[in-house]
Amino acid sequence: MNYTIHQLQIFLKVVQTRSVTKASEELFMTQPAVSIQLRNLQDQFEIPLTEVIGRQLYVTDFGKEVAKIAERVIQELENINYKTQAFQGILTGKLSISSASTGKYVIPYFLSGFLDEHKGIDIVLDVTNKSRVIESLKNNEIDFALVSVVPERLEVEEELLIENKLYLMGNTPARNEGKPLIYREEGSATRMAMEHYFESREGKQRKRMELTSNEAVKQAVIAGIGHSIMPLIGMRHELMSKEIHILPMMDLPIITKWRLIWLKGKRLSPVSQAFLDYIRSNKQHILDHNFSWYLKY
């Protein structure tokens, strides 16, 4: 057997993404390069690791077992690096955070200084929808989750970061009643807040348009397709350039809180505790330095 660590890393990424194309994008490699390494790994085994049916790639049962072993091998290699740095007096380890999609406008500013101070820490940041964030937290797959609404029936502890302000927005200063409302997908906290707001004032409406990301909603609003209740925090440049306007509506903004949450009773790793301590000590400075425009609204 002459397979390499690099080949195992590539194979594991293919298994995780179920796609050579997606794996190549995440690994910053060309698709042919990923295919070649995948084929070279396969040549080491008489049993197929993957199979393609139609245009869909499937991982065989044998491939799944190899992937599990590959994941453990790669984790142990990372542990060697962490141990080496720890013996040099450097705080090391991995910090994993899952964030609701709009949280991408918040969490990087709370991570930047911390990572500058601790060069031995690796960060895994998964930006996804609220349902997936809560699932990852529930399964104890992550250290922290960044959410704007505390999940029900799940005991957690929290650290508040910043207000989440939701306004109705359009591409003109006044609401055009003839244009539809644009909603986020099911499971989105913004979707739930928007539904509650309009149903309590204008009654239940047919949802003519539903988009699966805040960015997609933003672009639809800019294009004049309709109006949407959206988080202010991702709209700085669009508001300054007047591509988007806040529409005057009663009882807006809707205000929730962006918060870092973790399972109650969870024993935090040294890296996780250090990050929490950093946030508590530097929160006000981070807000003043990075969010002064936002705090004025």
My answer on whether 13 and 69 are in the same domain is yes
Contact 10, 26 (CB under 8 A): no
In degrees and rounded to multiples of 5, residue 108 shows phi and psi of -60, -35
- Which of 85, 117, 149 finishes a domain? 85
Percent helix, strand, coil in the chain (nearest 5)? 45, 25, 30
Q: What is the rounded CA–CA span in Å between residue 31 and residue 243? A: 37
My answer on whether 189 and 215 are in the same domain is yes
Q: Is the pLDDT of residue 280 over 90?
A: yes
As for how many domains the chain has, the answer is 3
- Which of 63, 85, 107 finishes a domain? 85
266-279 mean pLDDT = 89
My answer on whether 207 and 185 are in the same domain is yes
CATH at residue 217: 3.40.190.10
My answer on whether 264 and 139 are in the same domain is yes
**Tens-place pLDDT, residues 13-27:** 888 888 888 888 888
My answer on whether 78 and 113 are in the same domain is no
Q: Higher confidence at residue 83 or residue 3?
A: 3
Cis amide prior to 180 (ω within 30 degrees): no
Q: Is the pLDDT of residue 85 over 80?
A: no
266-286 mean pLDDT = 91
CATH at residue 61: 1.10.10.10
pLDDT value at residue 84: 66
- Which of 85, 120, 138 finishes a domain? 85
Q: What is the mean pLDDT of the chain?
A: 88
My answer on whether 175 and 132 are in the same domain is no
My answer on whether 207 and 189 are in the same domain is yes
My answer on whether 151 and 269 are in the same domain is yes
67-74 mean pLDDT = 85
My answer on whether 234 and 197 are in the same domain is yes
The whole-model pTM stands at: 0.68
- Give me the domain span that covers residue 16: 5-85
My answer on whether 99 and 152 are in the same domain is yes
Q: What is the rounded CA–CA span in Å between residue 84 and residue 263? A: 30
**Tens-place pLDDT, residues 242-260:** 999 999 999 999 999 999 9
Q: Which residue type, as a one-letter code, is found at position 213?
A: S
My answer on whether 138 and 99 are in the same domain is yes
